[in-house]
């Protein structure tokens, strides 16, 4: 009897030890390393849910591109990554429907060769852009490529995103459309090649970035959603956004620019709904006079 009780006690201790171990969460390297709000938001959402879901350890993935990261997530080789949301991607992994950056990436400015600024004068709508046959450089597999094509804009594509800056400098296309969060740093990096930020135009389409979770880990998705909801309710999510991006956005003079709105047919109804509140806040704070 004593031997049996001892065995049962050992089993119980083993089970307790197993559950007490931190949860190992495999995160795409780009999500973990991304400067700005992405990695910080993920960690805060996980930290705020420690008491309910337990402690965790982040396992950073090897370097990999976006396409490979999405496949790894869908095939149980990653647990968390962040992507621009499309209906197709939402069928491959669990989307956590809280926009990380308030739709910021949907506001696109052009990196251009400095000598080409005149090409963009007197454009006030998409029809005039099309008439001038202006071309936009894109990675072949970015969701933006499909969006721009659907709106009858001409694009030039490549399979390596780094080549786009070189091709822009060689005038292979007129505009490399970049999000507000990234364009200033990229312009500084490539300014020696004569690349500047175009002065007059904002191309806009609704766009959301979500955290996506391994489809085999619904509890992790629930945890992230709970943490992000807590961040929203406390106002910390808005504070994080403003602290990271207010200065960059204000320097780009959005209020004095012409907006060219485009349709985005890649969005699901859930994504459109999720964008409503953060998009309204962004427009009120950063676009209203």
pTM for this one? 0.88
pLDDT, averaged across the chain: 91
The per-residue pLDDT for 1 is 52
Return d(Cα 190, Cα 177) in angstroms, integer.
Answer: 15
Comparing 85 with 65, the larger pLDDT belongs to 85
Asked if residue 164 has pLDDT above 50, the reply is yes
Claim to verify: residue 199 and residue 224 sit in the same structural domain: no
Which residues are bridge partners to 40 per DSSP? none
Question: With 80 as the cut, is the pLDDT of residue 40 above it?
Answer: yes
Choose between 51 and 36: higher pLDDT: 51
Whether the predicted pLDDT of 136 surpasses 90: yes
Q: What is the pLDDT of residue 159?
A: 83
Question: Do 84 and 216 belong together in one domain?
Answer: yes
How far apart (Å, rounded) are the C-alpha atoms in residues 157 and 105?
A: 19
Q: How many domains does the chain have?
A: 2
Whether the per-residue pLDDT at 16 is higher than 90: the answer is no
Same domain, 237 and 173: no
> Residue 78 sits in which domain range?
22-101+208-251
| 67-89: average pLDDT | 95
Token pair for 24: 């190992």
Q: Which contiguous run of DSSP H or E holds residue 84?
A: strand 80-84
According to the model, what pLDDT value does residue 32 have? Answer: 92
Structure-block tokens of residue 218: 């619904």
Q: Are 90 and 58 in contact (CB under 8 A)?
A: no
């Amino acid at each position: 009897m004593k031997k049996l009780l001892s065995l049962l006690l050992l089993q119980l201790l083993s089970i307790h030890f197993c559950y007490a171990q931190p949860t190992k969460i495999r995160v795409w390297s780009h999500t973990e390393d991304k400067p700005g709000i992405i990695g910080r938001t993920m960690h805060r959402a996980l930290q705020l849910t420690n008491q309910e879901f337990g402690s965790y350890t982040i396992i950073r993935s090897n370097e990999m591109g976006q396409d490979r990261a999405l496949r790894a997530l869908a095939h149980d080789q990653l647990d968390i990554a962040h992507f621009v949301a499309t209906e197709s991607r939402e069928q491959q992994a669990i989307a956590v429907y809280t926009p990380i950056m308030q739709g910021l990436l949907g506001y696109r400015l052009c990196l251009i060769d400095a000598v080409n600024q005149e090409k963009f004068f007197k454009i006030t709508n998409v029809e005039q852009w099309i008439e001038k046959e202006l071309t936009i450089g894109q990675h072949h597999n970015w969701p933006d490529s499909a969006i721009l094509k659907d709106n009858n804009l001409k694009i030039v594509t490549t399979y390596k995103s780094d080549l786009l800056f070189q091709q822009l400098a060689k005038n292979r296309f007129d505009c490399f459309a970049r999000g507000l969060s990234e364009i200033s740093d990229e312009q500084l990096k490539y300014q020696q090649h004569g690349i500047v930020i175009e002065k007059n135009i904002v191309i806009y389409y609704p766009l959301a970035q979500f955290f996506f979770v391994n489809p085999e880990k619904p509890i992790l998705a629930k945890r992230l959603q709970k943490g992000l909801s807590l961040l929203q309710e406390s106002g910390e999510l808005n504070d994080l956004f403003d602290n990271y991006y207010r200065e960059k956005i204000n320097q780009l003079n959005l209020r004095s620019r012409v907006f060219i709105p485009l349709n985005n047919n890649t969005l699901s109804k859930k994504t459109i709904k999720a964008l409503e509140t953060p998009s309204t806040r962004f427009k009120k704070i950063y676009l209203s006079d």
